[in-house]
A and B are shown apart, each in its own frame.
Chain A
Amino acid sequence: GAVVSQHPSRVICKSGTSVKIECRSLDFQATTMFWYRQFPKKSLMLMATSNEGSKATYEQGVEKDKFLINHASLTLSTLTVTSAHPEDSSFYICSARDRTSGSSEQYFGPGTRLTVT
C-alpha cells in the first residue's frame, strides 16, 4: 500500500517551453502533497505544499508564477514549470500524506528528471 506515482519519469524540453509533472497517490487519498527539488549530491529542498482545493503554500524564494501547482483532487497534484530555463534542470520529487493517518509520514514518488536544453 501507500504508493505514489509520478509522470513522466524523465523529460527533456527546450528553453522557453512549459512542462507538467503529475503526482498521484494510487491507493490512498491525500489532502496534502509536497513538491521537492533536488540537485546532484544535495538534499531535498521543499518547494511548496500542495493543498487539495486551495492554493499551494510556497517556500521562501520559490517563484509561484514559475512553478504552478494544482491539486484538484484528493489523489492528484501537478507541478508545471513555466518558461523553463536550463537552470530549472533538476530532479523533482513529490510526496503525499495519507489523510486518514495521524502520523507525519510522507510517501514519496519515484521522481522526475527534468533537463532543459
Chain B
Amino acid sequence: GQNIDQPTEMTATEGAIVQINCTYQTSGFNGLFWYQQHAGEAPTFLSYNVLDGLEEKGRFSSFLSRSKGYSYLLLKELQMKDSASYLCAVPSGSARQLTFGSGTQLTVLP
C-alpha cells in the first residue's frame, strides 16, 4: 500500500519562502505530484517529479529524492493568494490511481 505524510498546517509571512515536506512509502514508484487546492475548489496541478532533483517553475519549485522517499514543495515570494491546501500524491496500481497525502494548509499572513 501507500503511505504519505505531510504536515497538517503551516504559517508564513507575505514575501517569505516556505518549504512543505512530503514523505512517502509506496510499492513501486511512478512519480510524485503536487497540487494546490483552494477551499471549495478542485485541485490544480503544480508539479510532477519522476527523477531526483529540483525542478523550478516560477515561484514554485519541487524537489524529489527517491532513495529517501522524500519530496518538498518550495514557494518563494509568498503572496496572500498562496493561502491554500497543498497536496502531495503518488500514483499506483494498474490504473495509476492517485493516493493523496492529508494536505498541508498554508496560511500566508500580511
Contacts and interface: CB of A to CB of B under 8 A. Distances in A.
Interface of A: 32, 34, 41-46, 49, 51, 57, 91, 93, 95, 97, 103-111, 113
B17 to A, nearest CB: 24
Contacts of B40: 91, 111, 113
Contacts of B97: 34, 46, 49
A109 B42 CA distance: 6
Given A93-B42, A108-B43, A111-B41, A43 B98 contact: no
A49 B100 CA distance: 15
Interface stretch (B57-65, B69-77, B101-109): B101-109
Interface of B: 30-31, 33, 40-45, 48, 87, 91, 95-103, 105
A88 B103 CA distance: 22
A43 B37 CA distance: 10
Contacts of A110: 41-42
Contact of A105 (B48, B95, B100): B48
A43 B41 contact: no
Nearest to A32: B95
Contacts of A106: 98
A111 B96 contact: no
